[in-house]
C-alpha cells in the first residue's frame, strides 16, 4: 500500500511516499480502508523528533493521527464492527499511521462515523474532539455556569472545545486573531480576545478553567486569569510526572518530567491553582459520545482545507503556518 513515512527524525523534513506491506490484523483489530486523514501539529512534532524520548517509535514510521474510512476486515474477537461499516478514530499513540491507504486499529479505539458528516469532515474530528473531551469533561469536569478560557479558539482543538464548553453550560472566552473573531463567536464564544490588540491576562479574571495549547509565556500569563482552586490544563507542555507514570515511563524519565514542569507547578501552587499536562489518548467509547453530539448538531466540524493524498507534504506545511482555521484534511481515497 502507498504511505507517507519518515526514515529518520528531521526538523522540517519531507515525508517520503513509499510502498509498504499491509498492516498485520490482530484479533482485536479492525482493518480500515482510509478515505480521509486529519493533519495535526502533533504530526510535525513527531517528525521533528520532539517526542522521541517519551514515544519511542520504530523507524521507518508512517505519520497520521486521525482517520475516517470503511472497515474491510475484522479480527477474530471483534463483534461491534463488521465489513462495510463507516468508522472514524484516533489510533492509539503507539499504532499511528493514517497517512496511508489502510490501517489496523484496536476496535476499542474506533467509533461509527457520524451519519451527517462526509469522510473528510469526520477525519477532522477525533484527535481534537477527544482532546477537548478529556480536558473539559474528564479532567476539569466543567459545570454549568463556570468560566472557561480556551486559547487559540480558531485552531483544531479550539473550535471543538468552544462548542463542547458551551454545551456543558460554561461561559466561554477565547483568544484568536482579528480575522477569526467572527468564526469563534459563531461557535459560541461569549468573549473573544483579539491577541493582536489586547492582553488577555489584563481583561479576564475569576476563571475556573484554562485550556492552553500555546507557549510558555501564554501558559504563565494564564495563571492570572484563574481563581484559587482553578485548573490550568496544557496540551503543549511542559509534561509532568503524572503523565510520565501514565505513559509507563521509568523512574528517571518521571524525574525529568517533574523537573520540566517544576516552574509552572510551583507558580500555580502559590496561587492555589492545579496544573496538569494532557496528552490525549485514544478512546472509542468517548468518541461515540462525541458522535452523538455531532449528530444532534451540538458540535460541527471546521475544515480549513482538503488536500489530495499526493499533496500530504503540502498539507503538513500548511498546518505548520499556524494559520489554518479548524482542521486540515487529506483525502486519501
| Range scoring the smallest mean pLDDT among 229-233, 246-250, 253-257, 325-329 | 246-250
User: Which residues 6+ apart lie within 8 Å of 47 measured at CB?
Assistant: 6, 9, 10, 13, 15, 63, 316
Between CA 186 and CA 328 the distance in angstroms is 19
Number of H helices, E strands in the chain: 12, 16
Average of pLDDT values for 69-93? 98
Q: Provide the pLDDT for residue 257.
A: 82
50 HSE (CA, 13 A, CB side): 14
The burial class, CB within 10 Å (0-12 / 13-18 / 19+), for 239 is buried
Q: Which CATH class is domain 2-125+301-331?
A: alpha beta
Q: Provide the pLDDT for residue 251.
A: 81
Q: Provide the pLDDT for residue 51.
A: 85
Read off the C-alpha cell for 100. Answer: 496511508
Helix (H, G, I), strand (E, B) or coil at 331: strand
Instruction: Provide the whole-model pTM.
Output: 0.96
**Are the C-beta atoms of 20 and 106 separated by less than 8 Å?**
no
Q: Provide the pLDDT for residue 209.
A: 98
Between CA 88 and CA 103 the distance in angstroms is 11
**Are the C-beta atoms of 238 and 281 separated by less than 8 Å?**
no
Q: Provide the pLDDT for residue 52.
A: 85
Q: Is the pLDDT of residue 36 over 80?
A: yes
Q: Is the pLDDT of residue 11 over 90?
A: yes
3-state helix, strand, coil in the chain (%, to 5): 35, 25, 40
Q: Is the pLDDT of residue 56 over 90?
A: no
> Which of 134, 133, 124, 117 has the alpha carbon at shortest distance from 155?
124
Average of pLDDT values for 126-132? 98
Q: Provide the pLDDT for residue 259.
A: 87
**Are the C-beta atoms of 309 and 39 separated by less than 8 Å?**
no
Average of pLDDT values for 259-283? 94
Average of pLDDT values for 273-295? 97
Q: Is the pLDDT of residue 241 over 80?
A: no
Q: Provide the pLDDT for residue 53.
A: 80
Q: Provide the pLDDT for residue 244.
A: 77
Q: Provide the pLDDT for residue 243.
A: 82
What letter would DSSP give residue 94? Answer: G
The answer regarding whether domain 127-277 maps to CATH 3.40.50.720 reads: yes
User: What confidence tens digit (pLDDT) does each residue in 93-124 have?
Assistant: 999 999 999 999 999 999 999 999 999 999 99
Percent over 90 (pLDDT), the chain: 90
Average of pLDDT values for 207-220? 96
**Are the C-beta atoms of 94 and 291 separated by less than 8 Å?**
no
Between CA 116 and CA 137 the distance in angstroms is 24
Percent over 70 (pLDDT), the chain: 100
User: What confidence tens digit (pLDDT) does each residue in 215-238 have?
Assistant: 999 999 999 999 999 999 999 988
Q: Provide the pLDDT for residue 260.
A: 82
Q: Is the pLDDT of residue 248 over 80?
A: no
Query: Mean pLDDT for the chain?
Result: 96
* Every domain range in the chain assigned CATH 3.40.50.720: 127-277
**Confidence class for position 6, pLDDT limits 50, 70, 90:** very high
> Which of 182, 128, 123, 113 has the alpha carbon at shortest distance from 160?
128
Amino acid at each position: 500500500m502507498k504511505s507517507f513515512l519518515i526514515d529518520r527524525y528531521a526538523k522540517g523534513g519531507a515525508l517520503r511516499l513509499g510502498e509498504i506491506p499491509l498492516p498485520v490484523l490482530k484479533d482485536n483489530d479492525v482493518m480500515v480502508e482510509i478515505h480521509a486523514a486529519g493533519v495535526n501539529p502533533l504530526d510535525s512534532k513527531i517528525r521533528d523528533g520532539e517526542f522521541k524520548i517519551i514515544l519511542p517509535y520504530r523507524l521507518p514510521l508512517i505519520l497520521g493521527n486521525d482517520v475516517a474510512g470503511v472497515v474491510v476486515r475484522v479480527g477474530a474477537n471483534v463483534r461491534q464492527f463488521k465489513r462495510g461499516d463507516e468508522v472514524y478514530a484516533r489510533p492509539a499513540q503507539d499504532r499511528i499511521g493514517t497517512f496511508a491507504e489502510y490501517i489496523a486499529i484496536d476496535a476499542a479505539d474506533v467509533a461509527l462515523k457520524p451519519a451527517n458528516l462526509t469522510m473528510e469532515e469526520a477525519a477532522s474530528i477525533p484527535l481534537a474532539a477527544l482532546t477537548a473531551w478529556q480536558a473539559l469533561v474528564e479532567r476539569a469536569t466543567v459545570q454549568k455556569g463556570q468560566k472557561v478560557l480556551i486559547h487559540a479558539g480558531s485552531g483544531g482543538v479550539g473550535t471543538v472545545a468552544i462548542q463542547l464548553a458551551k454545551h456543558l453550560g460554561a461561559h466561554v472566552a477565547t483568544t484568536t486573531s482579528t480575522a477569526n473573531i467572527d468564526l469563534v463567536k459563531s461557535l459560541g464564544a461569549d468573549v473573544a480576545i483579539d491577541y493582536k490588540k489586547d492582553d488577555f491576562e489584563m481583561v479576564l479574571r475569576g476563571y475556573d478553567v484554562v485550556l492552553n495549547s500555546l507557549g510558555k509565556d501564554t501558559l504563565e500569563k494564564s495563571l492570572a486569569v484563574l481563581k484559587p482552586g482553578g485548573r490550568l490544563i496544557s496540551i503543549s507542555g511542559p509534561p509532568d510526572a503524572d503523565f510520565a507514570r501514565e505513559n509507563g515511563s521509568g523512574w528517571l524519565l518521571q524525574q525529568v518530567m517533574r523537573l520540566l514542569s517544576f516552574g509552572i507547578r510551583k507558580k500555580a501552587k502559590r496561587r492555589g491553582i492545579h496544573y496538569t499536562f494532557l496528552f490525549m489518548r485514544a478512546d472509542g467509547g468517548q468518541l461515540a459520545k462525541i458522535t452523538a453530539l455531532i449528530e444532534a448538531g451540538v458540535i460541527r466540524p471546521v475544515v480549513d482545507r482538503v488536500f489530495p493524498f499526493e499533496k500530504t507534504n503540502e498539507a503538513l506545511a500548511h498546518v505548520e503556518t499556524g494559520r489554518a482555521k479548524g482542521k486540515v484534511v487529506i483525502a486519501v481515497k
